[in-house]
Chains A and B, each alone.
Chain A
Amino acid sequence: MAYRYDEQSTPPAAEQVTDVAITRFEHVFEVDPRLMAEHVTQQTFPNWDTLRIVRSRTDHLAWMHAHWCTTVVSGEELLAELDAE
């Protein structure tokens, strides 16, 4: 079972983003582990499972848009039009 391999459960080095958050994967934020020391402790997690959860969330949000409508209008496009006036 791949999830038992240590290297898959060893995340990349953390980069401090704010005083309460770190990042190990691009655009994926975690609570600073120092804040999860007393009441809730962090679990060992396979890297691929972290990324799978993040991607699943993205899939879910895309599904929700399609559920409600056909097209999502871009605010960036509208703002560019306004700025060009």
Chain B
Amino acid sequence: MTVTESLAQHVVDSLVAELAPVLGDEHVLTSKTARWNRARVPAPFPVHRWSERVPDLVVLPASTEEVAHVVRVANKYSVAIVPRDGGTGLTDGAVPERRGIVVDVKRMNQIHEIDLENGTCTVGVGINMLKLNEVLGKHGFIYPDDPASYPCSLIGGRIGTSGWSLVGSRYGHSRDLVLSFDMVLPTGETITVGDGGGQKLTKSSSGYQLKHLFMGHQGTLGIATRATLKLFPKPEAEFSPFWAFADYETAYRAVGALPRAGVATFAGAVLFDEWKVDYLRRDDEAYIPQPSSVKALVCAVAYGNEDEVRAGGRRLMRIARDLGARYLGDEISEGDWAARHDRYATPLHGRTRNGQVAPMSWHCEDAAINYTRLPAVRVAWHGILDRLRRDYDVFDDWGMFAYTSGNTGLDYLTEIDVGIWEQELDDRAWAAWVDAKREIAAVSLAHGGSISACHGSCREGEVDLVPEELGGAYEVMLKIKRALDPNNVMNPGKYGLDRAYRTEDS
């Protein structure tokens, strides 16, 4: 892990002197609390080395122009800039690995326009989806971008990470739902990217399609400030059945059959494996009383007009019933689904090897895996965690999910949840964890998948394999990074992009 020294005080003073007149004194923060609280994200990190990632100052701009000013000042002093939205990402995108200036966008949280005729809204990127939907719901609309951090993540972070949505099989993911956005480039210029020049278009064939380039870059290519979003009618009805299965193999067949049924209101299906069921039996009130014959779980979810949800729901229920599933009932099904919008509120504790409760942070390694590879990936991943847990009694295997990414059952967001007793980490345990992450990523690639469907792949461990995954496309990434960010100020250290600046001699 590269350690960057804090800026000299006279440099911090110069930055404050240039930033405060434009942003206001109260929006340029240098206090310990302001800086240390923006040093990490919810994913576990080496707590014993927290101090190595603390930014030198924090700014809270209120407009695109103010963001552009911050970026120009950072270039002038060659100081790192790290965009931070909700700070809920799981791949360290918002972690200031090279210190510098954290740009916290939460003041840019206005709703600028709701276009009821075209079904769009334009917002500052500091707004949260739940709060936005409270307003849109009054107009009969919804913005259906639904991460597990739904109550606390922000639109800008969804752009920077190209987020994955729980109901993406019905409505699409962030890249489909964000129509266009204003982007401050690493040198301070501002552009608008979307489909073509229009800001409210779902499809254009004019010019390069840059929207995807500026989504999912983890803050390495600039800072989004204002976005136009695609709205849908607020659903009349929801259906979220949970089923129990006597074995993994049958549950696996079900999670493939449900999306392939062609139900138009289908919004997602999830497979919970044996390890996940064991975990739920420890702590989840819905599953503690379940009989030992329950070995795997599947849930499905549908949204839309009530008559269509009922018709489609009947078809989904028939598929599960014919495969021998046992419906867990309305109370468990409805309660468990509602809780999935808000997984960051989960009480976090795990078990040591002797079964004692210990405080643990939640982490999940994710990948994009084709349906036919799910069983093999599951076995390999649990094997890696089993070895890690045997060597270090600060890790706990919390089981796996496989979640439809689309509505045809082609590929699945595949996650293994890991409890980590952060306070007990030391350099050896952390290094073992990083090695395990690298192994997990290698399994994904060996099975023809991608290192990440959802979180991104720029944390220690898996990031080492990104060049292998992307091949020649990674070389193009390096060229783009260097062309757009000649001074390497925009979130440096992420995705191994520093190598874009290496000379022959270095």
Interface on A for B, CB 8 Å cutoff? Answer: 17-18, 20-21, 27-29, 31, 35-40, 58, 60-62, 64-65, 67-76, 78-79, 81-82
Contacts and interface: CB of A to CB of B under 8 A. Distances in A.
A62 B341 CA distance: 12
Contacts, number: 114
Interface in B254-296: 281-283, 285, 288-289
Given A20-B355, A67-B134, A78-B313, 18 more contacts: A17-B288, A18-B289, A27-B285, A29-B285, A31-B282, A35-B355, A38-B352, A39-B359, A64-B338, A65-B338, A68-B235, A68-B303, A69-B235, A73-B238, A73-B310, A78-B310, A79-B321, A79-B327
Nearest to A19: B355
B189 interface: no
12 contacts: A28-B285, A29-B285, A31-B357, A65-B334, A68-B341, A69-B234, A72-B238, A72-B334, A75-B241, A75-B313, A75-B327, A79-B327
B334 A40 contact: no
B357 A36 contact: yes
Nearest to A28: B285
B362 interface: no
Given A40-B349, A61-B339, A65-B338, A70 B358 contact: no
B282 A21 contact: yes
B401 interface: no
Given A35-B355, A78-B314, A71 B306 contact: yes
B486 interface: no
Contact of A65 (B133, B238, B351): B238
Contact of A73 (B309, B318, B329, B358): B309
Nearest to A17: B288
Determine which residue in B281, B288, B327, B357 has the highest number of CB atoms from chain A within 10 A of its CB, and name it.
B357
B356 A35 contact: yes
Contacts of A71: 236-238, 306
Contacts of B234: 68-70
B356 A73 contact: no
B238 A82 contact: no
Q: Is the interface of B mostly helix, strand, loop or mixed?
A: mixed
A61 B240 CA distance: 13
B212 to A, nearest CB: 28
Nearest to B314: A78
A73 B241 CA distance: 9
B342 interface: yes
B313 A29 contact: no
B112 to A, nearest CB: 23
Nearest to B242: A75
Nearest to B352: A39
Interface in B317-353: 317-318, 321, 327, 329-330, 333-335, 338-339, 341-342, 349, 351-352
Contacts of B342: 60, 64
Nearest to A66: B137
A85 to B, nearest CB: 9
A33 to B, nearest CB: 10
Determine which residue in B133, B288, B327 has the highest number of CB atoms from chain A within 10 A of its CB, and name it.
B288
A55 to B, nearest CB: 13
Contacts of B130: 67
A47 B75 CA distance: 58
Determine which residue in A17, A27, A67 has the highest number of CB atoms from chain B within 10 A of its CB, and name it.
A67
A76 B241 CA distance: 9
Given A38-B356, A39-B357, A74-B330, A20 B314 contact: no
Contact of B341 (A28, A64, A81): A64
B239 interface: yes
Nearest to A67: B133
4 A-B pairs with the lowest CB-CB distances in the bound complex, closest first: A61-B338, A64-B338, A73-B239, A69-B238
B237 A20 contact: no
A66 to B, nearest CB: 9
Contacts of B309: 73
A68 B239 contact: no
A25 B349 CA distance: 22
A28 B352 CA distance: 24
A77 to B, nearest CB: 8
A64 B134 CA distance: 11
A37 B356 contact: yes
Contacts of B356: 35-39
B330 A35 contact: no
Given A61-B335, A64-B342, A74-B330, A20 B282 contact: yes
